[in-house]
């Protein structure tokens, strides 16, 4: 026996189709809810919905399993059947986290949850506390980044489906690693989205880069908001994930008295109390508005943290410049910007932005740096490059070691992208399989046109729809123990373990941070109470004065010299000193 429930205010009649039988649903209620109970339905039963006189059966918008793809029937899945053994699990605090972003499909050769489990011991040894998984909701086609999901409740079968995801989360917890899941609540994918058949999930009152916006404030929005919030709760309650990373929340347009994000934060706090586990929300936002991470009690939205783009842009523009138009990089490129991002988080906290042509942002004020995530690479910053090349392939190993040294000693929560820790030679390209010939053609053509403006030959741009673009993005784990890869791996591992063992490097109080720099000589110094970080990106050796109790504990190159209260740091080198007692 199974009760079917469906929000569908648009059709006049609804029925459940199971095999060759149909079962009319009663409704709709005042809120547009249809219901019926089918005696013979049980876990494993395939079903779909018939709307009005349309003979096409449509999958359930809240389907938990889509083994035949986004166009096929849904399957009843029993969320309570899995045997968890993480009952005493309490995840590590986000304030001391080392995040590791990964794409399940390219993390291993097999590209599934079960094969990813085999690498968890490696991540544990590296010092990773949280893995951040790119979206796993079902999308159209055989491969993709996951940001074009259309069945948001169904774990993609390409990675093994819902049972395999639960095995992965369970195994992560067994290795002491928390799981953050990337979710997309700002748009549906362009192929396989049937929600418009059921109700007003989308509104044409607002536009996003992907089309019409989600309906968070118009008629019917109560149930649309419920759809997304219930989805968030499902991942954390039923799949035991420890938090969510919310994609591009600046494209969630909501003028309601209680913003969608505020409502989500409040309900996640309630869930956290009920399950007895700390649950976190991390936002991606380009608004430079601290309201995103301020507590609800202080008039904020209550997100626990957000990605820090200004820090990335400030650091990246000191390391390399791109050909052609630089876009948002136009506003950066000076050590002054990097120093301000380290000390104040937002470089643009009310100043005029040349790129935007207007003033942008507001000051962070007294918030801890632990509300912000710092990185030099992530899926966007690699995958949205023309050739998907990683930063060390652009600037070399020495400068990349400096960049990672800054990321892992900065006051923010650090994030690494898979393979970054061993200077992976494999690219991370943009790949897709849109399951629609015209859509595939448009995506490929648009990609070539976009990068032609940067001076790339169109023949150089990998076709996102080509299966080879996907397979070429898979990590090559055999290279980790040799040459430059081993050198980078040892450097990153040392940095992570140093950070996790140092109270000073885990201090989120920006008042305890002092930053000095020399624009002409291209050096920067961070004093974090008893730990000092010295960065030299200039062409000449840089000399720094320190106290007599400082000792050199880590250097990206062996040429750093400490003597007589003076440190000489060679070009393209980062050195870390400590005045803490051994």
Query: How far, in Å, CA of 134 to CA of 104, rounded?
Result: 7
Residue 311 labelled as part of a binding site: yes
Say if residues 508 and 411 touch (Cβ distance below 8 Å).
Answer: yes
Residue 312 labelled as part of a binding site: yes
User: How would you classify the pairing of strands 551-555 and 573-578?
Assistant: antiparallel
Residue 379 labelled as part of a binding site: yes
3-state secondary structure of 166: helix
| Closest listed residue to residue 546, CA positions, set 577, 511, 522, 575 | 577
DSSP 8-state symbol, 463:
P
Query: How far, in Å, CA of 25 to CA of 30, rounded?
Result: 15
Q: Counting Cβ atoms within 10 Å, is residue 438 exposed (0-12), middle (13-18) or buried (19+)?
A: exposed
Query: How far, in Å, CA of 138 to CA of 71, rounded?
Result: 11
Q: Which residues of 76-89 are buried (b: 16+ CB within 10 A; e: fewer)?
A: bbeeeebeeeeeeb
Residue 389 labelled as part of a binding site: no
Residue 480 labelled as part of a binding site: no
What are 119's two structure tokens? 């690498």
Cβ atoms within 10 Å of 342's Cβ, excluding its own: 28
Quickly list H helices, 175-326: 221-237, 260-275, 309-319
CA angle 59, 65, 71 (to 5 degrees): 35
Instruction: Give catalytic residues, as residue numbers.
Output: 247, 284
Query: How far, in Å, CA of 287 to CA of 285, rounded?
Result: 6
Residue 380 labelled as part of a binding site: yes
Say if residues 312 and 375 touch (Cβ distance below 8 Å).
Answer: yes
CB contact set of 103 (below 8 Å; sequence gap of 6+): 134, 145, 146, 379, 418, 428, 473
Locate tokens 């928390």: which residue? 178
What are 502's two structure tokens? 């140092």
Residue 313 labelled as part of a binding site: yes
DSSP 8-state symbol, 58:
B
Residue 381 labelled as part of a binding site: yes
Residue 247 labelled as part of a binding site: yes
Residue 250 labelled as part of a binding site: yes
Residue 245 labelled as part of a binding site: yes
- Residue 562 pairs in a beta bridge with 567
- Residue 462 pairs in a beta bridge with none
Which residue positions form the known binding site?
245-250, 309-313, 379-384
**Residue set of the binding site for substrate:** 245-250, 309-313, 379-384
């Amino acid at each position: 026996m199974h009760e079917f429930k469906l929000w569908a205010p648009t059709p006049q009649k609804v029925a459940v189709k199971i095999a060759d039988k149909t079962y009319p649903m009663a409704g709709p209620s005042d809120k547009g809810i249809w219901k019926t109970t089918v005696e013979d339905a049980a876990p494993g039963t395939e079903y779909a919905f018939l709307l009005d006189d349309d003979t096409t059966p449509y999958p359930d918008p809240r389907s938990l399993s889509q083994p035949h793809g986004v166009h096929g029937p849904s399957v009843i899945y029993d969320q309570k059947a899995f045997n968890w053994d993480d009952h005493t699990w309490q995840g590590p605090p986000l304030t001391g986290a080392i995040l590791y972003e990964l794409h399940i499909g390219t993390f291993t050769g097999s590209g599934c949850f079960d094969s990813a489990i085999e690498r968890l011991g490696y991540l544990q040894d590296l010092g990773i506390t949280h893995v951040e998984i790119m979206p796993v909701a079902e999308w159209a086609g055989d491969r993709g980044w996951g940001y074009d999901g259309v069945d948001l409740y169904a774990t993609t079968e390409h990675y093994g489906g819902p049972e395999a995801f639960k095995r992965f989360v369970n195994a992560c917890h067994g290795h002491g690693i928390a799981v953050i899941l990337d979710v997309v609540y700002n748009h549906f994918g362009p192929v396989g989205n049937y929600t418009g058949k059921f109700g007003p999930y989308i509104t044409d009152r607002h536009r996003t880069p992907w089309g019409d916006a989600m309906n968070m404030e118009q008629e019917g929005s109560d149930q649309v908001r419920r759809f997304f919030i219930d989805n968030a709760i499902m991942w954390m309650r039923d799949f035991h994930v420890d938090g969510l990373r919310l994609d591009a929340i600046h494209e969630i347009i909501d003028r309601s008295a209680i913003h969608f994000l505020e409502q989500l934060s409040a309900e996640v706090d309630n869930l956290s109390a009920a399950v007895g586990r700390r649950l976190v929300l991390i936002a991606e936002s380009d608004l430079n508005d601290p309201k995103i991470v301020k507590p609800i009690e202080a008039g904020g939205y209550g997100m626990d943290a957000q990605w820090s783009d200004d820090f990335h842009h400030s650091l990246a523009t000191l390391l390399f410049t791109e050909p052609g138009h630089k876009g948002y990089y136009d506003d950066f490129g000076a050590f002054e910007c990097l120093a301000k991002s380290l000390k104040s988080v937002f470089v643009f906290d009310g100043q005029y932005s040349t790129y935007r042509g207007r003033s942008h942002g507001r000051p962070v004020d007294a918030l801890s740096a632990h509300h912000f995530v710092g990185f030099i690479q992530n899926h966007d910053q690699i995958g949205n490059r023309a050739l998907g090349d990683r930063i060390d392939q652009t600037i070399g190993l020495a400068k990349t070691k400096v960049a990672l040294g800054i990321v892992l000693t900065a006051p923010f929560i650090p994030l690494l992208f898979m393979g970054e820790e061993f200077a992976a030679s494999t690219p991370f390209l943009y790949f897709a399989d849109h399951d629609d010939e015209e859509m595939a053609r448009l995506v490929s053509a648009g990609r070539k046109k976009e990068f032609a403006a940067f001076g790339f030959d169109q023949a150089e741009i990998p076709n996102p729809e080509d299966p080879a673009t996907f397979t070429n993005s898979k990590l090559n784990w055999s290279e980790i123990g040799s040459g430059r890869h081993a050198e980078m791996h040892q450097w990153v591992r040392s940095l992570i373990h140093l950070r996790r063992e140092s109270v000073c490097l885990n201090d989120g109080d920006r008042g305890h941070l002092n930053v000095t720099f020399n624009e002409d000589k291209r050096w920067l110094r961070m004093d974090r109470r008893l730990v000092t970080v010295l960065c030299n990106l200039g062409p000449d050796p840089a000399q720094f004065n320190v106290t007599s109790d400082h000792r050199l504990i880590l250097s990206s190159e062996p040429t750093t010299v400490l003597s007589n209260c003076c440190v000489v740091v060679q070009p393209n080198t980062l050195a870390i000193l400590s005045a803490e007692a051994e």
